[in-house]
Amino acid sequence: MMLPFWLLMMISPEATLGLMFPDKIFDVASLSYFRIYMALLPILPVIFMMMTFYPAINKGKPAAIIGIARQLVFYLPVMLILPGLFGVQWVYYGTFLIDVIITIWVLILVKKEFNNLRNENKITVTRGG
> Is residue 51 located within the same domain as residue 86?
yes
The shares of helix, strand and coil residues in the chain, as percent rounded to the nearest 5, are 85, 0, 15
Percent of the chain with pLDDT over 70: 95
> Is residue 35 located within the same domain as residue 62?
no
Average pLDDT, the chain: 90
> Is residue 62 located within the same domain as residue 113?
yes
> Is residue 110 located within the same domain as residue 47?
yes
Tell me the C-alpha distance between 115 and 28, whole Å.
Answer: 46
Report CA torsion sign: 65, 58, 110, 36.
negative
Secondary element (H or E) of residue 28: helix 28-38
Domain that holds residue 16: 1-42
> Is residue 54 located within the same domain as residue 22?
no
> Is residue 31 located within the same domain as residue 53?
no
Number of domains present in the structure of the chain: 2
Inter-CA distances, 108 with 47, 100, 113, Å: 12, 12, 9
Q: Which of 79, 78, 74, 60 is nearest to 103 (CA)?
A: 74
pTM attached to this predicted model: 0.80
pLDDT digits (tens, 9 = 90+) for 69-86: 999 999 999 999 999 999
Percent of the chain with pLDDT over 90: 67
> Is residue 11 located within the same domain as residue 53?
no
- Mean pLDDT, range 14-24, rounded to an integer: 91
Taking residue 93's Cβ as centre, other Cβ atoms within 10 Å add up to 17
